[in-house]
Amino acid sequence: MRRGTRVTFDTVREIGLALEDVEESTAYGSFALKVRGKLLACTAINKSAEPGSLGVRIDFDQRAALLAEAPETYYVTDHYVNYPMVLVRLSRIRVDELRDLLGAAWRFVTSTKKRSASDAATGLKSGRTRLKRDKAG
């Protein structure tokens, strides 16, 4: 794919299926990508979402950063506000940004404990996980 290529759901499919253990599926009868049976990304079908939007699972800290950095690309509606998901206007996102976003979503979904954005970025486990290990060992 060329860098300036228009992003479509086919682009999402191609990038997503290149990630480990990701498969095409459905959610509420629409296109979805799942990793090990867990939702990774899907067509945003709630009536509050803009047409041509993708819902991507991401932690709340990362979502806040995306919304602050690029509100023309990323958004959230009242329906999605309590879920770890960001809505993406496919008409506004570049292929490289989508690849990075789906990679971050994959790390979020496959983590055994949901970690904060700073923990995920540094590769550290949360303190709670370390304590459990220390007590068990």
Pick from 9-13, 113-117, 121-125, 126-130: least confident: 126-130
- Judge whether residue 36 has pLDDT over 50: yes
Express each pLDDT in 37-61 by its tens digit. 999 999 999 999 999 999 999 999 9
Query: What are the domain boundaries of the chain?
Result: 9-136
Express each pLDDT in 12-28 by its tens digit. 999 999 999 999 999 99
The neighbouring-strand residues paired with 35 are: 22, 38
- Judge whether residue 95 has pLDDT over 60: yes
Which residue, among 103, 24, 114, has the nearest Cα to 56 in the 3D structure? 103
Cβ atoms of residues 22 and 35 within 8 Å: yes
Measured distance CA(105)–CA(133) in Å, rounded? 26
Q: Which amino acid is it at 133?
A: R
- Judge whether residue 137 has pLDDT over 50: no
- Judge whether residue 92 has pLDDT over 80: yes
Cβ atoms of residues 56 and 102 within 8 Å: yes
- 122 or 105, which is more confident? 105
- Judge whether residue 117 has pLDDT over 50: no
pTM confidence score: 0.79
Q: What is the CATH number of domain 9-136?
A: 3.90.1150.30
pLDDT band at 5 (very low <50, low <70, confident <90, very high): confident
Identify the pLDDT of residue 4.
55
Would you list the DSSP string of 25-48?
Answer: EEETTEEEEEETTEEEEEE--STT
Which segments of the chain are extended strands (E)?
22-27, 30-35, 38-43, 53-57, 74-75, 85-89
